[in-house]
Structure 1
């Protein structure tokens, strides 16, 4: 994927959706779930194609990272990871996904 520079998270997600990253992933306790297709994956079934970091508007410490992810079965989607104190992602599972 070519490198894009995005000013906001919403612009990045919109652009990736137009490029075929149409599902949304969430890292739960034991697996990573594709929210629209309801498929469940293990980290070894996924690859991070690209990632983008965004700093908070009011507090630069409130970082968010957007991952463009491709599954072995062809499904593509995005995963949004907030580094704030109030996030609901399983960070350890996300760290196990390999980057290409």
Structure 2
């Protein structure tokens, strides 16, 4: 199990551990380097939440994702009040590999 104090520590370490794709959210899919990926083909392997130092409402979440074809990458989204409606709808379609992956 990993513990990180900052968002940048988490993303840097995940990159070192092979999570090198930088995913973004589109209307109904994940996007990386102009390619679209179906959400249902991915699992959340690890998940971390962070609060902003100056504003507790400034929340972010980091998801380490793995696809069914071996793709590994990171998705960073807002969390809580700062979460987008689109993000919440897509994230509901992602499954956690196991409950121990929630930090």
Question: So what's the TM-score if we normalise by structure 1?
Answer: 0.85
Q: Does 1:90 align with 2:87?
A: yes
Task: Determine the C-alpha separation between the residues in 2 that align with 1:26 and 1:89.
Answer: 11
In structure 2, runs of 5+ residues without a counterpart are: 98-103
Change beyond 3 A, Cα 1:28–1:41? same
Corresponding residue SS for 2:3: coil
Structure 1 or 2: larger helix share?
2
Change beyond 3 A, Cα 1:63–1:79? same
- The number of aligned residues is 96
In structure 1, runs of 5+ residues without a counterpart are: none
What's the C-alpha RMSD, in Å, of the aligned pairs?
A: 1.8
Displacement of 1:91 in angstroms is 2.3
Question: So what's the TM-score if we normalise by structure 2?
Answer: 0.83
Indicate conservation of the 8 Å contact 1:64/1:81, yes or no.
Answer: yes
Give the match for residue 23 of structure 2.
25
